[in-house]
Structure 1
């Protein structure tokens, strides 16, 4: 026993003597997470979120966060053809469902107004690149989705905010990720500023109804006669921040950027206020967010924690906001580090010993997407959030790791996780 303890102590000392490096997932692990996402995404918003994960992680040249102007190349570079294929399969599935006709309608059938629009960027890119020489069909599908959102068939409140539901006027924080990014990208592809203005206005109206300045966070659902939710749902705040970032990046990379400075300024401030409110009020030593931010009786949710952390890295690279990078690093290190500590993973294709992943790559614990008050099991959107977090962190690192010094102080506090182990190691060597 004493010999084993000494060997353990020596190993720990060697581990702690190594230079501090970033703990990250291997690409094979991210691909495993993506495989679980691909096999499970069936609902409209899950498919749309998967499409965005494909763009941000694989087909990076065609992401709104790429370092190039919008729209992207209509002639697809050779190195992007393979990575785009999963996105094209999503677009093809939309056409096979009958979305390319001449009637204003959502891209896919759904009980929610907002969610089908989340697939819209995939369809717009299929149109723009003339996928399968069917650009007219993809153009019709995208235009039908846009016309549907603007039509009288979709309920809107007195200020013009598009309802998330068809049967009543109701605003959900989720919708900020589904509709405005599509509207903004529609404007870029059609060379029309109006949809970009509409994207901004939708966010403005949603924020006016959902943001609670006293709480520093967004409510989940307001309006309507039933199904309201005044809670400060963590995933809803992450959806809102992520949607606003996509709209900001779309405007910023477009030819209309110079004439929309005030809109961009607002979007930056609105993302920052979510980060400030959530991280300064509701983030604790667990480094994860409660499912309902201000309710200590709700579980720690890895899914919302991952998505919100991804928005911090994106805010750093596209908005120049670095203050909350340390918080994102705390979440990323917590989720992506094996139980045995940094540098101890020996199988970079699986999750052999991770607290927040099953061995086959499912993130846990996660909220049930169909009942946001409960903890769920396998969540497709949570899988997408992992990919978005890894991709955003990777791009932040490539961009120079702004905010790294502040993050270093957080990393130092993270290293205290190993402090007791260090003490044990020293003690065992003295036995």
Structure 2
């Protein structure tokens, strides 16, 4: 009788511990997520995202989000081999000025940070400096631009994609800082500003996905089948908003943690505001499920866990990078998104092989697909950034919510204990 009565509090404790554990992914699942990312990242932007993810997760001191990423003496290239091996293979198999020839002017540049890191650390086995210079020249001088200077995401005509903000501006900013070229740092900011001009909707605080802009007649006129890419996607693609926020954060971190921080103080202020706009717009569209729709405001487009992970990753990163005071509600939304993806120890949104589910088809963004290499990377970024946020004290309204939950659980335990003692009595 006594054992039965006293078991109630123990069961409650067990259930509370289980609920807490359900909000995290175990190491086995995270290892599977990483393995799937590594094996499936073959397109240029997937390779670039994989490189960036490995830098942030495994070599955080070399990430632009670290205040010490510009060490007086470059680190040993050997320690960075997991990243540099990927970039080295790209450099040694390239067939033109771009790091990869795939029709996009922007996506190959996403690999550029890995190439620049190889050059800075003087890693053997590749002609890093020429590869980086060629990729930069292809962007600045070989790609069509809009009449006001926006570099096209595509090589055929001037098309502006929200994805571009993750692919090109971080490369320009990093190149500028490493070479003390403030013009490139300015250009990284200017490109974001121009893209925002064309794609940002102030009514929804969201970025549209794709638009076509008038081409500058004095510059390159494009190559390839322009008619095939003469289309717009004016919807609020959730992943595109994540790409934009994540790219702006990388440029912000690159500048903030560089010797040029004070020189670009106003630009940093703009970037913080623009990132906040995206986070506000996405938070306003977070469904009760905690998982975003493929197009943020359209439930008919289906749930997409990849953009959900990227949204949460960028929120945690923003808070740890500059801790804006108004981020309470937004962090709460990020927590809801992460907890939804991690529900039941990840068994809801991860299959037995570690694939995130459901996800948009990376090659056909209107469709829900089966697997997403970038989605795998977004999960690793989210998990890493969340753990960093927790380690810094979880400075947000979510902390208060967690305290309230703990207090509520404690009250339940006390009441149960009293009840059990009364039964014994």
Does the 8 Å CA contact 2:320/2:389 hold for their aligned counterparts? yes
Structure 1 position 14 matched with structure 2 position 18: no
Residues in 1 aligned to 2:332 and 2:156: alpha-carbon distance in whole angstroms:
43
Does the 8 Å CA contact 1:49/1:118 hold for their aligned counterparts? yes
> Aligned to 1:363, what secondary structure does the other structure show?
coil
Superposition misfits of 4+ residues, deviation over 3 angstroms? 6-12, 16-22, 408-415
Structure 1 position 125 matched with structure 2 position 117: yes
Report the CA distance shift for 1:294/1:12 in structure 2 as closer, same or farther (over 3 A).
Answer: farther
The equivalent position to 2:302 in structure 1, one of 299, 304, 310, is 299
List runs of 5+ in structure 2 lacking aligned partners: 214-226
The equivalent position to 1:181 in structure 2, one of 155, 165, 170, is 170
Structure 1 counterpart of 2:312: 309
- State the Cα RMSD in Å: 3.0
Report the CA distance shift for 1:398/1:170 in structure 2 as closer, same or farther (over 3 A).
Answer: same
Structure 2 counterpart of 1:407: 398
Residues in 2 aligned to 1:207 and 1:21: alpha-carbon distance in whole angstroms:
39
The equivalent position to 2:354 in structure 1, one of 356, 361, 369, is 361
Structure 1 position 143 matched with structure 2 position 142: no
Structure 2 counterpart of 1:377: 370
Structure 2 counterpart of 1:110: 102
| Deviation for aligned residue 1:414 | 8.6
Does the 8 Å CA contact 1:330/1:410 hold for their aligned counterparts? no
> Aligned to 2:295, what secondary structure does the other structure show?
coil
1:368-407 superposed Cα distances (whole Å, 9 cap, x missing partner): 011111101111000000011011112212223211xx11
1:165-208 superposed Cα distances (whole Å, 9 cap, x missing partner): 11111100000000000000001111111111000000000000
> Aligned to 1:74, what secondary structure does the other structure show?
coil
| Deviation for aligned residue 1:410 | 4.8
Structure 2 counterpart of 1:290: 293
Residues in 2 aligned to 1:380 and 1:185: alpha-carbon distance in whole angstroms:
24
> Aligned to 1:109, what secondary structure does the other structure show?
coil
> Aligned to 2:360, what secondary structure does the other structure show?
strand
Does the 8 Å CA contact 1:330/1:414 hold for their aligned counterparts? no
Report the CA distance shift for 1:114/1:20 in structure 2 as closer, same or farther (over 3 A).
Answer: same
1:214-293 alignment runs, 5 A limit: 214-223=203-212, 226-279=230-283, 281-293=284-296
Residues in 1 aligned to 2:369 and 2:99: alpha-carbon distance in whole angstroms:
28
Does the 8 Å CA contact 1:245/1:315 hold for their aligned counterparts? yes
1:314-344 superposed Cα distances (whole Å, 9 cap, x missing partner): 110112123311111111111123x3xxxxx
Structure 1 counterpart of 2:222: none
TM-score normalised per structure 2: 0.86
Structure 1 counterpart of 2:84: 88
Report the CA distance shift for 1:32/1:218 in structure 2 as closer, same or farther (over 3 A).
Answer: same
List runs of 5+ in structure 1 lacking aligned partners: 1-5, 340-344, 346-350
The equivalent position to 1:332 in structure 2, one of 338, 360, 377, is 338
Moved more, 35-44 or 389-398: 389-398
Does the 8 Å CA contact 2:62/2:68 hold for their aligned counterparts? no
> Aligned to 2:31, what secondary structure does the other structure show?
helix
| Deviation for aligned residue 1:14 | 2.9
Structure 2 counterpart of 1:97: 93
Report the CA distance shift for 1:183/1:71 in structure 2 as closer, same or farther (over 3 A).
Answer: farther
Residues in 2 aligned to 1:222 and 1:131: alpha-carbon distance in whole angstroms:
40
| Deviation for aligned residue 1:31 | 2.2
TM-score normalised per structure 1: 0.84
Residues in 2 aligned to 1:402 and 1:32: alpha-carbon distance in whole angstroms:
30
Does the 8 Å CA contact 1:108/1:116 hold for their aligned counterparts? yes
Report the CA distance shift for 1:44/1:414 in structure 2 as closer, same or farther (over 3 A).
Answer: farther
Residues in 1 aligned to 2:75 and 2:301: alpha-carbon distance in whole angstroms:
49
> Aligned to 1:297, what secondary structure does the other structure show?
strand
Report the CA distance shift for 1:20/1:72 in structure 2 as closer, same or farther (over 3 A).
Answer: farther
Report the CA distance shift for 1:390/1:18 in structure 2 as closer, same or farther (over 3 A).
Answer: closer
1:149-164 alignment runs, 5 A limit: 149-151=139-141, 153-164=142-153
Does the 8 Å CA contact 2:88/2:125 hold for their aligned counterparts? no
